[in-house]
Amino acid sequence: MCGIFCAIGQNNDVSCHLHSALEELLHNRGPDVQDKLIVDNVLLAGNVLWQQGAAPQKQPLVENDLVLLFNGDLYNLDEKKLKSEADSAWLIKELNKCNMNEDEQLLALLQQLEGPYCLILYNRREKALYFCRDALGRNSLIIERHPNNCLKLMSTSCPVLEHMATAALELPPLGLYKLRLAQLNECCLYPWQPLNEQMQQQLSTLQTAMEWSMRLGQTIAPSWLLDKLLQVSSFDLYALAAGDIPLELLHERLLGNEAVQQALSKLDELLQRSVAARVLHTAPVCRLCGDSGSGRCSHAKICILFSGGIDCSILAVLADKYVPPSEPIELINVAFERVAGAADQSWSVPDRQTSLQSLLELQRLCPQRSWQLLQVNVSREQLQQQLAAHIRQLIYPLQTVLDESLGCAFWFAAAAADSTARVALLGSGADELFGGYSRHRNAWRRAGPSAASRELALRQELEMDWQRIPARNLARDDRIIADCGKTARAPFIEEHLAQFVRSLAPQQRCCYALPEGVGDKLLLRLYGHRLGLRDATLLKKRAIQFGSRIADKRQQATQISEYLRFDSLQPNGVQ
């Protein structure tokens, strides 16, 4: 994980655009090694959190005419290369082999990459800047337009009065963007895939904000998008679950179906591979031992943001298979004060209760593992202080009440005082893929009695949620968690896994004829049961903002948060 920054201008000094407050935020993301470079009035700065290779790799990397900033993880590289060098070092070598006079070889290289990443590449010979986020938009890259024709790209921003942007937004993960220094008002986009209506709307918003004239180049078409998907035997969870079946027998009956088992076996293969990659590809020392130089460390390197629900419980069981037996795994649970200063304050919020319940299951299934449940308790005073002074900058440029609640919950969890982990596993994506939100059930219910109309309505709702997950969740969560010196990794949002689950019909993923906590995400609950989980497979979905008691149910999630407004900044950046 890295904090990367690029400022590009035509006739102004770009060095002034990396101010001290922003430098501090970027350093939080990459505390191990830092460097910066100015070339052709382009400022590039990199801050690295060591996760791959035998030693930390400084950025930016320079090879001949190319200068690279890279933030992310590539999971489909040769295992030996991953152990010996950082993926950024591998990538700059591969980029240097490309004929950069033409873009086809660069596009062919990007076509093969798998994993969460964003990159900024400057070609000194051509005086051209390339930048992108991966096709699933898992890592943050903010783009800002400033006065005097200055453009900034950065992992996280820090709006202060002296350096306020004219326009700022999360870069839409639509493909590879290309700008030439001499023509900063003209941009070429090589899209990952043909642009649908929602993507075209995102591109139009970007074009207007940056005052660009846009041109579309050839489609990149990442190789995983062309996966030959496993054709599972047909099955319908509604038909299989029909009849008066006691809940305690339902899972056993469904698991007895051969087609269901075939789908679960493929899910197991893909999810285990995803978890393994995200657990094993990290530095051999924890955050505390990184500077000791001893190379020996028995502290936790992996944590799981843990509500006790089915998603994170499954990740915990799978992580146990790949984390060395002698190392603990942290389970981080956060609870917020319900009433400020209440004399009889209790931290027994719903997520705390389910985390304790599911911890017992993990101890039963994996008794040799040291499970460290870190209970983070946050007072209303602490919440307001950190939100006003710091967290609001990480959430920027987003502004809603929902962004505020989720951003704060994740930040306090990732900032747990006793945590030594470098990697935080998240259950993000499971609800979008398997049908875990109440709006999915409502779409099915509103569509009428016809099975075909219900399937169509639900498929459309699931697809809409999947398409907008980068803008709703991923970049914000990356900024929040990385600020605490951790890399956020979401095993459910993996290329081949997502392709497989999305190839299944809605009635093969969920069954809303069954009650909440049973029919939603039913295929995933069956997988949890197959792993040995019992209580966790029957827990109702609860959003973290409600399970941790941070949110006020009287507020609308989409309304603008007063804490996140930056239209009346004082010179020091605080309202």
- Output the CA torsion sign for 567, 569, 574, 575: negative
Q: What is the DSSP letter of 159?
A: -
Residue 2 annotated to the active site: yes
* Residue 335: CB atoms within 10 Å: 24
From 2, 366, 408, 484, active-site residue: 2
- Output the CA torsion sign for 12, 14, 18, 20: negative
Q: Which residue has the tokens 């596009």?
A: 107
Number of H helices, E strands in the chain: 20, 18
Pairing between β-strand 2-8 and β-strand 42-48 as defined by DSSP bridges: antiparallel
Beta strands in 366-439 (DSSP E): 371-378, 423-425
At 8, which amino acid appears? I
* Residue 465: CB atoms within 10 Å: 19
| Beta pairing partners, 122 | 67, 129
Beta strands in 247-290 (DSSP E): none
Q: In whole angstroms, give the CA distance from residue 505 to residue 516.
A: 20
Pairing between β-strand 150-154 and β-strand 142-146 as defined by DSSP bridges: antiparallel
At 219, which amino acid appears? T
Q: How far is CA 264 from CA 305, 518, 534, in A?
A: 24, 17, 17
Please give the backbone phi and psi of residue 279, each rounded to the nearest 5 degrees, phi first: -90, -40
Is the separation of the CB atoms in 433 and 522 below 8 Å?
no
Q: Which residue has the tokens 């070598």?
A: 93
Region of residue 144 (left: phi > 0; alpha: psi -120 to 50; beta: else): beta
Which sequence positions are flagged as catalytic?
Answer: 2
